Amino acid sequence: MSVAYFRFYAELNDFLAPARRMVTFTHSFRGRVSIKDMIEALGVPHTEVDLILVNGVSVDFSYLVHNADRVSVYPVFESLDITPVLRVRPRPLRETRFVLDIHLGKLARYLRLLGFDALYRNDFQDEELVDLSSSQSRILLTRDRGLLKHSLVTHGYCLRETNPRRQLIEVVRRFDLFGSVHPFQRCLHCNGLLERAEKATIQAQLLPATRQYFDDFRLCSTCGKIYWQGSHYQRMRQFIEQLLQRCDDVSPQVH
């Protein structure tokens, strides 16, 4: 029987048993085991990990753990550049796009409201989520730790919050999306892009009051849903302003 000494840092401790949080603990094992398999066996999805040091030296997920190794595991760094040190996950995606599991419908609508490409259906199977994340280079958002342990998932995040609005704040902060918010660009229902629509071409689809008092319209290029700047628009603008203020009021996490 071999023994390795583990220490997990910052929010990675959320996945550990209470007795193992914020302390160095021993882990017994037999045979040749990769560091990736060992970390996930301890409960931490590999998508949450950005840096692994073994005896002070950076290693990748293929490293085979040896007896008496001292392992330090760090979460994803967003505000600190560690490119001179080997990362265990692929570089950040060039375009921030999401796919969400079936329990995150409200979060998907909120992300679309802010202008982010967020795929969601309430009947997605786990296999579809993994395939969409992998084939379309999308960040998989879920509260299912097991789903993030799938080998094909390279970019994903396990949400800690349960309230959809707090989840949105969590995602904006976690992926540092403040400068990427472009609201009212996507359909809240289907994720399609919105295009300017001439009133004359859609007026037959409008209610009389809408046709009388509004002239600026957007049309979803995918499902055909029509949007205009009614009272709901003002409420959404206020929601976005309050959201970004709340995000900015909270100091960034230090890893």
Q: Under CATH, what is the fold of the domain 2-75?
A: Ubiquitin-like (UB roll) (3.10.20)
Q: Which amino acid is at 239?
A: F
pLDDT of 250 above 60: no
Q: Quick: pLDDT tens for 43-88.
A: 999 999 989 999 999 999 999 999 999 999 999 765 445 555 656 7
User: So what's the pLDDT on residue 244?
Assistant: 81
pTM value is 0.79
User: Of all residues in the chain, what percent carry a pLDDT higher than 70?
Assistant: 90
User: pLDDT at position 202, please?
Assistant: 93
Q: pLDDT band at residue 246, thresholds of 50, 70 and 90?
A: confident
pLDDT score for 84: 58
Q: What is the mean predicted confidence (pLDDT) over 16-21?
A: 96
Above 80 in pLDDT, residue 101?
yes
- 252 pLDDT band (50/70/90 cuts)? very low
pLDDT tens per residue across span 21-32? 999 999 999 999
Q: What average pLDDT does range 122-148 have in this prediction?
A: 95
Q: Is pLDDT above 70 for 93? A: no
DSSP 162-227: -SHHHHHHHHHHHTT-GGG---S-B-TTT-PBEEEE-HHHHGGGS-HHHHHH---EEEETTT--EE
The pLDDT > 90 percentage for the chain reads: 75
Q: Is the pLDDT of residue 222 over 90?
A: yes
